[in-house]
């Protein structure tokens, strides 16, 4: 019989399976949000095998139904981007809370997951920082390649440098262990040289 946490993960995965954007990975084509949630869970399991349930839930729900709030519905530029990110965090937190309430999960646990998804107390809260580290690692491992196809090298180096500054020492050490292709590794090294 599935545990409550497994049931919740199934609900999150089911919701994320509706993502119309598909992505190929390991010979399969899956909805992007579903694949992202699974990658976050796998990364967290490696980064922090003893993660509490609330952190594991937040990792899986990090991009819950993300496609429903497209970036192009917000103004271009940094202010528009930051508003989009804040709105997304609240959206993910609300949707995840709704799924947790369907399963009659503990309200204090629901509040904790919402705090994590909204990245409250980043740098002060070890669990929030671990969630951010996992997101950064997933980006570097799986999404840097796509960014490279759309942005100039100088911009990519700046983005990697910003990503590096968001990470803890543990996250940075894990990032240095990633097996990136030589061209991407070069970009990471160039970003670190700036820091």
Q: Where are the alpha helices (DSSP H) in 2-106?
A: 4-16, 32-47, 53-61, 78-102
pLDDT, residue 195, reads 63
| 22: nearest Cα among 33, 12, 11, 14 | 33
CB 99 within 8 A of CB 12: yes
* pLDDT in 10s for each residue of the chain, 195 residues: 469 999 999 999 999 999 999 998 888 999 999 999 999 999 999 999 999 999 999 999 999 999 999 999 999 999 999 999 999 999 999 999 999 999 999 999 999 999 999 999 998 999 999 999 999 999 999 999 888 888 888 989 999 999 999 999 999 999 999 999 888 888 888 888 876
Q: Which residues contact 96 (CB under 8 A, 6 or more apart)?
A: 12, 57, 58, 61, 64, 113, 114, 117
- Neighbouring-strand partners of residue 31: 22
Query: In Å, how far are 4, 25, 51, 136 from 131, measured between CA atoms?
Result: 21, 22, 10, 9
Here the contacts of 102-110 (C-beta below 8 Å, separation 24 or greater) are 102/11, 103/4, 103/7, 103/8, 103/11, 105/4, 105/8, 109/53, 109/54
CB count in 10 Å sphere of residue 107: 11
- What is the per-residue pLDDT across 5-14, written as a single tens digit (0 to 9) for each? 999 999 999 9
pLDDT, residue 2, reads 62
pLDDT, residue 1, reads 43
pLDDT, residue 186, reads 87
- Tell me the pTM: 0.94
Query: In Å, how far are 53, 69, 94, 102, 162 from 97, measured between CA atoms?
Result: 14, 18, 5, 9, 30
C-alpha span between 194 and 112 (Å, rounded): 36
């Amino acid at each position: 019989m599935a545990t409550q946490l497994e049931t919740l993960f199934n609900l999150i995965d089911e919701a994320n399976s509706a993502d119309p954007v598909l992505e190929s990975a390991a010979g399969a084509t899956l909805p992007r949000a579903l694949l992202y949630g699974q990658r976050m869970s796998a990364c967290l399991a490696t980064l922090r095998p003893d993660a509490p349930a609330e952190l594991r839930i937040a990792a899986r729900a990090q991009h819950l139904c993300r496609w429903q709030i497209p970036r192009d519905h917000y103004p271009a530029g940094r202010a528009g981007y930051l508003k989009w990110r804040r709105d997304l965090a609240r959206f993910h937190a609300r949707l995840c809370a709704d799924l947790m309430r369907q399963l009659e999960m503990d309200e204090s646990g629901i509040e904790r997951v919402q705090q994590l998804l909204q990245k409250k107390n980043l740098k002060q809260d070890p669990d929030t920082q671990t969630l951010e580290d996992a997101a950064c690692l997933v980006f570097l491992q799986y999404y840097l390649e796509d960014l490279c196809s759309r942005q100039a090298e100088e911009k990519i180096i700046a983005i990697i440098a910003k990503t590096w500054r968001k990470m803890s020492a543990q996250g940075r050490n894990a990032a240095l262990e990633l097996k990136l292709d030589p061209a991407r590794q070069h970009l990471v090294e160039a970003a670190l040289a700036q820091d």
